[in-house]
Amino acid sequence: MQVLMGQLLIGLINGAFFAVMSLGLAVIFGMLNIVHFAHGAMYMLGAFAAWMGLTYLGINYWASLLLAPLVVGALGVLIERLLLSRLYKLDPLYGLLMTFGLALLLEGLFRRFYGVSGQNYPMPPELSGGRNLGFMFLPNYRAWVIVASLTVCFATWFLIEKTRLGAYLRAGTENAKLLQAFGVNVPLLVTLTYAYGVGMAALAGVLAAPIYQVSSMMGSNIIIFVFAVVVIGGMGSILGSILTGLGLGLLQGLTKVFYPEASQAVIFLIMALVLLVRPAGLFGKEA
């Protein structure tokens, strides 16, 4: 029982992490109707931004938590304005292909210049060590991850569901023209939404840097899992992504206890099943 509790806690922590990643993806899909294959690359960029900040400029972890998402978000603004905005009138297929290409490009560049073994990002001293909870040893950093992730998720949910800006966003996903007619600057809203989405990915990257090796491959390793989470949860649903992220984290944790070889496959199995039964996802609305 004790072992199980420890595994469930770990699953929850991982789930919270999934949730942050998939939230950005869900937001981007909801607003831009683009299947954002470059999300993993943005996550990688966030981690690298933190590492570069530390190595070349001496910027510490706490500052990076704020700066990395801003830097990557700014890049996102460029990408959206220069590249993605030209695709809105076209078949969504092209958005997928474009972001797929972007991911290849960015990862290839970082691989060319930084190799594949990855860089070491030291654990911030304030968060190192841990405490023995009795049923397991919980590193302080992991406790921080779950707190930070849930905070960001809640903040995003609040922003989208409870504020005026969020109302504009939701209106924009349903009927952009009408919203524009009301005087809201929709293109600006779209750009900001994209920047926010990739900023979230970058934040996840900074959170990951001390515990997962910072390497050019880190994005492509998790992107398809994040996709699975979003698809299962419902492509445009904020709450769906959060709950599904947490749920899948828990489920994966359990699988790792009983049948670890299948811990990756199980996510895809669920994705296939959900798509067959409820294609819009567990929490989504049929498109």
Could you give the CA distance from residue 168 to residue 186 in angstroms, rounded to a whole number? 9
158 or 268: CB nearest other proteins: 268
In the region spanning residues 86 to 125, those forming contacts with other proteins, defined by CB under 8 A, are 86-87, 90, 92-94, 96-98, 100-109, 111-112, 115-120, 122-123
Options 79-87, 166-174, 184-192, 198-206: segment touching other proteins (CB under 8 A): 79-87
Q: How many residues bind other proteins (CB under 8 A)?
A: 76
In the region spanning residues 219 to 258, those forming contacts with other proteins, defined by CB under 8 A, are 221-222, 224, 227-228, 231, 235, 253, 256-257
- The residue from 57, 147, 181, 211 that contacts other proteins (CB under 8 A) is 211
State the CB neighbour count (10 A cutoff) for residue 285. 11
- Least distance between other proteins and beta carbon 46 (Å): 15
* 212 in contact with other proteins (CB under 8 A): yes
* 62 in contact with other proteins (CB under 8 A): no
Closest CA to 120 of 204, 213, 26: 213
For residue 124, give every residue at least 6 positions away whose Cβ sits within 8 Å of its Cβ, in sequence order, or none.
60, 61, 62, 141, 210
189 or 228: CB nearest other proteins: 228
Closest CA to 117 of 219, 216, 222: 216
Could you give the CA distance from residue 185 to residue 234 in angstroms, rounded to a whole number? 27
- Least distance between other proteins and beta carbon 167 (Å): 26
Could you give the CA distance from residue 188 to residue 84 in angstroms, rounded to a whole number? 13
